[in-house]
């Protein structure tokens, strides 16, 4: 096994500062430069602000709100007392002020349901909007209703739809309201609501900006690699020029005897 040559303290300090490592056998190797993480591809848009400004506005009773059905309903499967969800499709605003953001959920209830019967009797489905669930409050909504389905013989029973319901289907005498169907409901009573802060959005980072960041980081990595390669040669040469410390010859005690042998 070759003797390990000591490295002077000054040379060792220079090698560490230059990014050069010393292997166990005394040879010098360059330490790979750390590559910075890639720049973000895009910055997502900020979520719409829902922070209240502290100013209050009274919204009058009868104010119309635009919803869509979140759940699908049918006179064949629905039962009285079933709850279903609605989603506000447009923000509630008054005098240009935003009070409730789009996407806020509301709750409706099946008031009456009866499936179509033999003999051409149409199905029945009566629904009611109950409340808008916003900021820990339940804002009461005025009921909307949908009534009789068309009978199978296509006679005079027809379809009766009360105010505010659209997008329904009648199949085999059953009333079906699909998810996504538009619904209009109104506030049952006046409510006082805080004005929300304006929506603030940010533009996503462009690909050009990301390209510039990557191009800026690339020369730094290349320069670090070149410096490490240049430092490797003189470090190895200087380490080779250092004379090895002569090994101390081993001494043998002439009085020692090998086990198993006797002195003559």
Residue 112 sits in a domain whose CATH number is: 2.40.128
**Tally of structural domains, the chain:** 2
**Which pLDDT score is estimated for 2?**
57
Residue 133 and residue 33 in one domain? no
Most confident of 115-119, 154-158, 179-183, 216-220: 179-183
Instruction: Examine the pLDDT at 171 and tell me if it is beyond 50.
Output: yes
Range with lowest mean pLDDT among 38-47, 95-104, 123-132: 38-47
CB 178 within 8 A of CB 125: no
**Which pLDDT score is estimated for 128?**
84
Strand partners, 97: 94
Residue 189 and residue 226 in one domain? no
Helices (H), 29-186: none
> How far, in Å, are 7, 20, 29 from residue 14 at the CA level?
11, 8, 13
Structure letter (DSSP) for residue 75: T
Instruction: Examine the pLDDT at 220 and tell me if it is beyond 70.
Output: no
Structure letter (DSSP) for residue 104: -
Q: Beta 52-59 vs 191-196: how paired, if at all? A: antiparallel
Residue 32 and residue 93 in one domain? no
CB 205 within 8 A of CB 146: no
Instruction: Examine the pLDDT at 83 and tell me if it is beyond 50.
Output: yes
Q: Is residue 254 part of a domain?
A: no
Q: Indicate the pTM of the whole model.
A: 0.51
Q: Is residue 247 part of a domain?
A: no
Q: Is residue 262 part of a domain?
A: no
Q: Is residue 106 part of a domain?
A: yes
Average pLDDT over residues 226-230: 55
Instruction: Examine the pLDDT at 8 and tell me if it is beyond 70.
Output: no
Residue 154 and residue 236 in one domain? no
Q: Is residue 1 part of a domain?
A: no
Instruction: Examine the pLDDT at 32 and tell me if it is beyond 80.
Output: no
Which domain range does residue 190 map to? 52-196
Residue 140 and residue 237 in one domain? no
Please enumerate in sequence order all residues whose Cβ is within 8 A of that of 102, keeping only pairs 6 or more positions apart, or say none: 88, 89, 90, 91
Residue 17 and residue 93 in one domain? no
């Amino acid at each position: 096994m070759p003797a390990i040559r000591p490295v002077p303290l000054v040379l060792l300090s220079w090698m560490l500062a230059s990014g050069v490592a010393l292997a166990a056998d005394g040879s010098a190797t360059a330490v790979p430069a750390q590559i910075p993480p890639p720049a973000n591809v895009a910055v997502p848009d900020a979520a719409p602000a829902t922070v209240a400004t502290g100013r209050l506005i009274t919204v009058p009773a009868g104010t119309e709100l635009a919803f869509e059905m979140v759940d699908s309903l049918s006179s064949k499967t629905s039962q009285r007392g079933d709850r279903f969800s609605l989603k506000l499709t447009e923000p509630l605003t008054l005098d240009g002020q935003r009070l409730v953001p789009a996407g806020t959920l509301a709750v409706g209830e099946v008031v009456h349901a009866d499936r179509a019967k033999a003999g051409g009797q149409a199905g029945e489905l009566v629904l009611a909007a109950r409340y808008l669930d916003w900021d820990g409050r339940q804002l009461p909504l005025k009921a909307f209703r949908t009534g009789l389905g068309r009978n199978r013989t296509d006679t005079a029973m027809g379809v009766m739809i009360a105010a505010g319901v659209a997008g329904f289907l009648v199949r085999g005498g059953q009333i079906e309201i699909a998810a996504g169907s538009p619904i209009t409901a109104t506030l049952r009573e006046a409510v006082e609501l805080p004005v929300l802060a304006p929506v603030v959005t940010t533009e996503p980072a462009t690909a050009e900006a990301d390209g510039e960041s990557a191009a800026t980081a690339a020369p730094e990595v290349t320069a670090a690699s070149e410096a490490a390669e240049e430092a490797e040669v003189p470090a190895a040469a200087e380490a080779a020029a250092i004379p090895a410390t002569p090994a101390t010859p081993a001494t043998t005690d002439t009085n020692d005897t090998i086990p198993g042998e006797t002195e003559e």
